Structure 1
Amino acid sequence: MRALHVLRTLVAAGVVPLALVCAGPDARAASPVLVACGESALVDAINTANASGGGSLILAPLCTYALTSAHSPGGAGQAAGLPNITTPISMAGLGTQITRASSAPAFRIFEVDGPSQVPSANGQLSIASVTISGGDAGLGVGGGIANLGGTVALTGTTVRDSKGSYGGGIYTDGALTLTGSSVTANTAGVNGGGIFTNAGAVTLIGSVVVGNTPSNCGALPPVAPAC
């Protein structure tokens, strides 16, 4: 009941779009789960959601989830700080941050796996009102988010201060939609400091991709850069 109360409060305040809740990740999912402020709580919640075929997570308001170690071996050249998203999962925060701790080893923050990456996977990640920062994919791709054949939708969310070889902020070869979001101050070793599109569609709605190095957006030809 507490999770539902928090969810209703966030929707009423306009922080969490009603569409994100109503078009939740999976009809099989139970009531939204309130995730306590802590690395292990978030890791456990994602693992449980994946095992259940999907879920809706309400992140603790004003919490910084500081990731101190990788919780997935990851793919495309780097581990991930959180378990790979392999099912439809939504996350909603309020002034919430998910970041790699300054003392932690290098890893990206999120990896979303579709069937092209893992045949049995159906990774769909929706995030609202969260700041994702500090990811480090090293020579791998997607320091903040690596979308490997899945679907990613960000609403009122910021991806910043992350790095990787391609797509310092976000690397995608699936579907990516940003609404009222920003991708800024990320760095790519090769191309696409903000967003690198390897394949798939990228849709920007009222969103900005600025201040990234060496470019805001890059792509693998003949795909056009997102910005």
Structure 2
Amino acid sequence: MRSIPGVCALTLALTLGMVAVPNTAHAQTPVLCSETSLVNAINAANAAGGDTLALVPFCTYQLTSAHGSGPTGPVGLPPITTPITLLGMGVTIARDPSAPAFRVLQVQGAANVPGTKGELSAVGVTVRGGSAVSPFPGGGISNLGGTVSLLTSAVTGNTAVAGGGIYTDNGTVSLTASSVTGNTASSGGGIYVNSGGAVLLATSVTGNTPDNCAPSGSVTGCT
């Protein structure tokens, strides 16, 4: 992880940013600390055209089965097809180690899936233990033509053929004060950019196997 000057100023800015993330024009929807509650909340948010989901602080949402599917295999949570914010504090969304293989999250946008406009914003959320079914990419998060923004979040312990942690195609990914660590793939253990782009700000992408980002040079600041 590179040393970033102005840490105090950045910390203040991020703190203010966390306050500003929810859309103040709409009430947040609380989500109980259970797999079923989170699945139902995402389905409802997609049907409503988007929502801010307030997750239970320090809850682990343990996924025991896939609740969605897409062009690249099963997904633990329903694919995100509208603008959805997952607002957490010390929250973990994890595939149960004994569950069948599936990635944790998938975002779908019109560039890849016509009729969708998926935008995921996650604050204070760890995505863990996803395992994309071979030969599909994106073990933790697969971004297919949408937008993914992570703030003070982590992607760890996920596996796939490519993009063990995060895979993006025809979409954009931005990570701020976050980490992508301990993920595994044949290429792009941490992040794989097939097309589109990924932007890192005060973010650590380290300890992924066999590499942190691929193709080489696709993510500025990732080595």
Q: The TM-score by the shorter chain falls in which range?
A: 0.7 to 0.9
Segments of 4+ moved more than 2 angstroms: 223-226
> Which residue of the partner structure matches residue 161 of structure 2?
165
Q: Could you say what secondary structure the match of 2:21 adopts?
A: helix
Q: CA deviation at 1:16?
A: 7.0
Deviations 1:190-209 (A, max 9, x none): 21000000111211000010
In structure 2, give the amino acid aligned to 1:191: S
Gap runs ≥5 in structure 2: 1-14
1:224 aligns with 2:218: yes
Q: CA deviation at 1:160?
A: 0.2
Deviations 1:174-197 (A, max 9, x none): 110000000000000x21000000
| Partners of 1:15 and 1:94 within 8 A in 2 | no
Gap runs ≥5 in structure 1: 1-13
> Which residue of the partner structure matches residue 105 of structure 2?
110
1:20 aligns with 2:15: no
| Partners of 2:197 and 2:218 within 8 A in 1 | no
C-alpha distance in 2, partners of 1:204/1:58? 25
> Which residue of the partner structure matches residue 191 of structure 2?
195
In structure 1, give the amino acid aligned to 2:20: A
The RMSD of aligned alpha carbons is: 1.8
C-alpha distance in 2, partners of 1:15/1:160? 26
Q: CA deviation at 1:75?
A: 2.3
1:74 aligns with 2:70: yes
Pick the structure with more strand per residue: 2
> Which residue of the partner structure matches residue 39 of structure 2?
43
TM-score, normalised on structure 1? 0.86
Q: CA deviation at 1:18?
A: 2.2
> Which residue of the partner structure matches residue 211 of structure 2?
215
Question: Residue 183 of structure 1: which of 159, 180, 183 is its match?
Answer: 180
C-alpha distance in 1, partners of 2:56/2:36? 13
> Which residue of the partner structure matches residue 32 of structure 1?
28
| Partners of 2:22 and 2:28 within 8 A in 1 | no
> Which residue of the partner structure matches residue 9 of structure 1?
none
State percent identity of aligned pairs. Answer: 49
Q: 1:15 to 1:129 in 2, by over 3 A?
A: farther
| Partners of 2:75 and 2:102 within 8 A in 1 | yes
| Partners of 1:16 and 1:92 within 8 A in 2 | no
> Which residue of the partner structure matches residue 4 of structure 2?
none
Q: Could you say what secondary structure the match of 2:180 adopts?
A: strand
Q: CA deviation at 1:123?
A: 0.3
Q: 1:168 to 1:15 in 2, by over 3 A?
A: farther
C-alpha distance in 2, partners of 1:19/1:202? 22
TM-score, normalised on structure 2? 0.88
| Partners of 1:70 and 1:79 within 8 A in 2 | yes
C-alpha distance in 2, partners of 1:138/1:168? 11
